[in-house]
Chains A and B, each alone.
Chain A
Amino acid sequence: MRRAQKYADFRDYEHYVGRWWMLTGSLLLLAVPATICVVYDAWPPITDILRGLLGVAPIYWTVGTIEVLTYVPMLGTGGSYLGFLTGNLTSLKVPCALNAMQASGVEAGTEEGELISTIAIGVSSLVTTAVIAIGVLLLSSIRGFIESPMLQPAFDNILPALFGPLAVVYVSKNWKVAMAPLIFMVVLFICVPALADSVGILVPVGAIIAIVAARILYKKGLV
């Protein structure tokens, strides 16, 4: 009980620290376009900005909201503040945190899981920053190599190369729960390939199907 209280206190502290960092980070990000406007006296019409937003906001605000609902329980407090400000969640930070928790034998939603997830996401952010910085600085030397047509298939197939092994880990351990969402998603994407562009919206659909399947199996004592 005392340990649980201390964990609750630690989470409160993380929220306090996280809110300040998130607020400062958001203001810094907003300061970038604002500075361009002020320094160059370049004020785009608000209607044009709204028209531009209309092309992305309906999808990305929905996906962003869904990501918060889905990923916050997985990443824990510290991991969420860090992950949502440093970006590249689906293709990098979430799999990185899942891998770290799995390899360390800790569960998401526990204090140990949350700490491991935060460390994994923090290190991942630092490495991403370093790789991009080194890449941009050495661009003239490496550009020919990393943009070569020979390497193109490798970068085109990052997600299949990433989610194949993740499936082995999670589906093999919980195949009864995995079957329903997996079959549903495979059939759905084969029938409606255009949905691949809005996969983020389908994450909670998969989660709801998996949770319902898990509940039924749990109630029947099958898992």
Chain B
Amino acid sequence: MFDPNGPLMYGMTAVVILFVIAMSIRFIVMAWKRAKKIGMDPKVLRRVAISSAIFTIAPAVSILLGVIALSRALGFPLPWLRLSVIGALTYETPAAASAASAMGTDLSNLITDPVVFAAIAWVMTLGIIPGPVLVPTIGKKIENGVMRIRQKDEKWGSLFMTALFLGMISAFLGMIFATVSEGLRGWIPCFVMIASALIMCVCAVFVKVLHWKWMEDYALPISMLGGMALSIPITNLVNMIAG
């Protein structure tokens, strides 16, 4: 009898999660050793590790919510595995829903038919395969191209990378405005963005005027958590005004 919450599923999840932990440690150790070798300050590396850990907590809780949401149909192990490893919240649910639909069912109840469950697991796995295939095959070529740009003209190379970041940030900032035509409630994401941006500006004042150098490392996590916290009164206020 197949059980999406059975020992086999938990066993496979444990193996994959242990693999991810081992891979993360391997790459951290490799980068840390190299950083020390080229004379980077270990204090900077420690600060990076701590601020990255703090930064990760809130988005990780949001990923946990995704695991809980998917667990209603798929049990805990598969969503736990997928969202700890390769998946993303925005991808796993549509992939699971598409596979369930192809099998003539949906995600409203716990799936206990192993054939349907296997089909969903295959679609979730194969639907996001380009990353693991393309990074090892063309990643080096992409990097070499960027290196060549830098070597040819250092200033333009730096500007090129900045433009790449700005392109990505612009796309996501633009997306925040996608709901503004829905009325006042549609502006909530914009208000939250402005609130977290203002907190960032306050942090910058502390760094620049009061010389709180340590805050530089934590300004983004502080601003993001502050923005998320403020989204609660902002939403309540907007709902009150909108009626």
A123 contacts across to B, CB distance below 8 A: 24, 28, 48-49, 52-53, 56
Chain A residues with Cβ under 8 A from B118's Cβ?
33, 36-37, 40, 42-44
A193 touches B181 (CB 8 A): yes
Give complex CA distance A48, B133 in Å: 24
Q: By the criterion CB–CB under 8 Å, are B177 and A190 in contact?
A: yes
B148-173 to A contact mask, C-beta < 8 Å, 1/0: 00100001111111111111111111
CA distance A19 to B55 in the complex (A): 28
B interface residues, how many (CB within 8 angstroms): 153
Which 10 pairs of residues, A with B, have the shortest CB-CB distance? A185-B174, A207-B167, A55-B98, A161-B227, A64-B130, A52-B99, A42-B114, A206-B167, A44-B119, A165-B200
Known: A49-B102, A115-B31. A33 touches B171 (CB 8 A): no
Contact of B174 among A122, A189, A207 (CB under 8 A): A189
Total number of A residues with any Cβ neighbor in B under 8 Å = 152
Q: Is the interface of B mostly helix, strand, loop or mixed?
A: helix
Give A33-57 as 1s and 0s: 1 = Cβ < 8 Å from B's Cβ atoms. Answer: 1011101101110001101111111
Known: A95-B220, A165-B223, A193-B181. 16 other contacts (CB 8 A): A25-B19, A52-B120, A52-B122, A52-B123, A56-B127, A74-B168, A92-B60, A109-B158, A115-B35, A128-B84, A163-B172, A168-B201, A169-B200, A178-B170, A207-B163, A210-B163
CB-CB < 8 A to B181: which residues of A? 190, 193
B166/A158 in contact, CB under 8 A: no
Indicate if the CB atoms of A160 and B189 lie closer than 8 Å.
Answer: yes
Secondary structure class of chain A's binding surface, majority of residues? helix
A177 near B166 with CB under 8 A, answer: yes
Q: Once bound together, how far apart are the Cα atoms of A103 and B48, in whole Å?
A: 8
A–B pairs, 11, beta carbons within 8 Å: A22-B132, A52-B98, A68-B135, A73-B142, A85-B23, A88-B89, A90-B90, A115-B31, A131-B56, A136-B64, A189-B178
- CA A202 – CA B158 in complex, angstroms? 22
Which of A55, A91, A126, A168 is B200 in contact with, Cβ under 8 Å?
A168
Number of A-B contacts (CB under 8 A): 549
Q: Is the C-beta of B121 less than 8 angstroms from some C-beta in chain A?
A: yes
Q: How far is the CA of A64 from the CA of B129 in the complex (A)?
A: 8
Residues of A within 8 A of B8 (CB): 35-36, 39
Given contacts A33-B118, A159-B172, A136 and B47 within 8 Å (CB-CB): no
Give A200-223 as 1s and 0s: 1 = Cβ < 8 Å from B's Cβ atoms: 001111111111011100100001
**Which chain B residue has the least Cβ–Cβ distance from A60?**
B127
Complex interface: chain B residues within 8 A of A116 (CB): 35, 44-45, 48
Return chain B residues, CB-CB under 8 Å to A121. 27, 52
> Assuming the A-B contacts A15-B140, A28-B15, A131-B64, are A163 and B165 also in contact, with contact meaning beta carbons closer than 8 angstroms in the complex?
no
Q: Enumerate chain A residues within 8 angstroms of B136, measured Cβ to Cβ.
A: 15, 18-19, 22-23, 81
Which of B20, B27, B65, B182: most chain A Cβ within 10 A? B27
CB distance B30 to A29 under 8 Å?
A: no
